[in-house]
Structure 1
């Protein structure tokens, strides 16, 4: 294998990548209707999950643009058939053209375009763009993370009591029971569930959410870009034991996960282990 991509080489790709993602967003936005059903043609994939013509248009556009930007990189995305060549590739693009398709369909603003570049299995570039709010999260490994140019940092909350938590209710209830004080479940500040997993993690990275919980069955494309944001901001996405998430495995499906700051990791893992 070749050496990992350098921070400098990754940073050199950022302006062109940012522009490509903005152009991709312009393909989806015309068919989005805030608070109303999309005008895009919609159908169901095998398994019943929805897809729109906007998902396919964004995916096709980004595959062409990013492959031209870095021809040696392999490709993994939600809307493209998987190619096992990625498993032996030093560089891999991981893309979710619309993360939160159901939100896009129904007029909820919290959908995003998520892009990551892996270098020897590790995210080295991560982008999450929320077109409706025009928030552009980006990170390069070793160079920090920003949102619209402002540096990101996780919250400095030191304990679970009163934490701002979002995610599936069964996982939140389990965390509350595990962190119980004198037999009473912890009280959290409940944050409305963020339908885009990438945005859910990005909001932990920016410090507006303390703990983001993710039920099993998330895919690499939901997480890889946002995970780098969080790592650069002082946290990470981990499994329920606290082990960091790994990417570009033969099966890109994950079990239950936690997005959190490094400062809360021990408390969250211990609470979940007690239930």
Structure 2
């Protein structure tokens, strides 16, 4: 990885924050994507355009995968790829909430090597580079040291706790939720929560940055079946994600059907 790749992502994320916050969430022009894929705003598109211009000019040989760009498949022949969510938590952005994020990652040979999750309205910038640890605003972070799933603080949507997903009864946990998937992952890396779990097929741009931040912080990530997450797939989705410290991750994996 070029030494400046993480610096490039940090600079781009900060510029994305300036672009996004120039829009007013409640008054921003909004459209709905086909097939119930959710809303997109003029802010999403403006941030995406800025990021694509900035990042691809800086690294013209890197491929490109973004929620707000057409995917023509060229990225599949690239060794290194940007995976970007211009605004993760668009509904929160529209509602005027602070809990939306810019999620930027660089993937090499299907593994994330540099990552940033930035929440401009909260002043929180999570970052990581492969082999160099993870930090929040420059301060190293690590996951909780909790032993055991019972009583854990988990970021999880209510439907995930339905009995149909678990070998026995759903575990007794304290459930919380944040609309931005990238932020949920970062909160586990930071040690604010013990684990995070989603079972639905999950877009790579939602989780690529968070995957590295978690692993570099010392947490464990996998898909819902316990398999290693790999990126830049032809269909850019993975089969859910489990994230937590080693023990909690193990307990969740074993408890799921």
Per the TM superposition, whether the score is higher than 0.5 is yes
Measured after TM superposition, the shift of residue 170 of structure 1 is: 2.3
Q: Does 1:39 align with 2:27?
A: yes
**What's the C-alpha RMSD, in Å, of the aligned pairs?**
1.8
Of 151, 170, 175, the match for 2:140 = 151
8 Å CA contact 2:156–2:196 kept in 1: the answer is yes
Number of residue pairs aligned between Structure 1 and Structure 2: 256
Any residues of structure 2 matched to 1:19-168 within 5 Å, and which? 19-33=11-25, 38-48=26-36, 49-168=38-157
Which consecutive aligned stretches of 4+ in structure 1 deviate over 6 angstroms post-superposition? none
CA distance in structure 1 between the aligned counterparts of 2:225 and 2:33, rounded to whole angstroms:
33
Aligned counterparts of 2:163 and 2:101: Cα–Cα separation in 1: 28
Give the whole-Å Cα distance in 2 for the aligned partners of 1:78 and 1:60. Answer: 12
Shift of 1:212: 0.8
* Contact 1:153 1:206 (8 Å CA) reproduced: yes
Q: Does 1:196 align with 2:185?
A: no
Cα distance change, pair 166–67 in 1 and its aligned pair in 2 (3 A):
same
1:234–1:32: structure 2 CA closer, same or farther, 3 Å change rule?
farther
Alignment of 1:154-233 (within 5 A): 154-174=143-163, 178=167, 186-191=171-176, 193-233=177-217
Unaligned runs of at least 5 residues, structure 2: none
Q: In the alignment, is the contact (CA less than 8 A) between 2:66 and 2:205 conserved in 1?
A: yes
Q: State which structure, 1 or 2, has the greater radius of gyration over its C-alpha atoms.
A: 1
Higher strand content, 1 or 2: 2
Note if contact 2:117-2:182 (Cα within 8 Å) is conserved in structure 1: yes
Q: Secondary structure at the match of 2:202?
A: coil
**For residues 168 and 195 of structure 2, what CA distance do their matches in structure 1 show?**
13
**Distance in 2 separating the partners of 1:151 and 1:246:** 25
Q: Distance in 2 between matches of 1:175 and 1:161?
A: 18
From 241, 244, 247, give the equivalent of 1:263.
Answer: 247
> Match for residue 238 of structure 2?
254
SS at match of 1:139: strand
- TM normalised by structure 1 equals 0.88
How many angstroms does 1:179 deviate by? 6.4
Indicate the larger mover: 168-177 or 231-240: 168-177
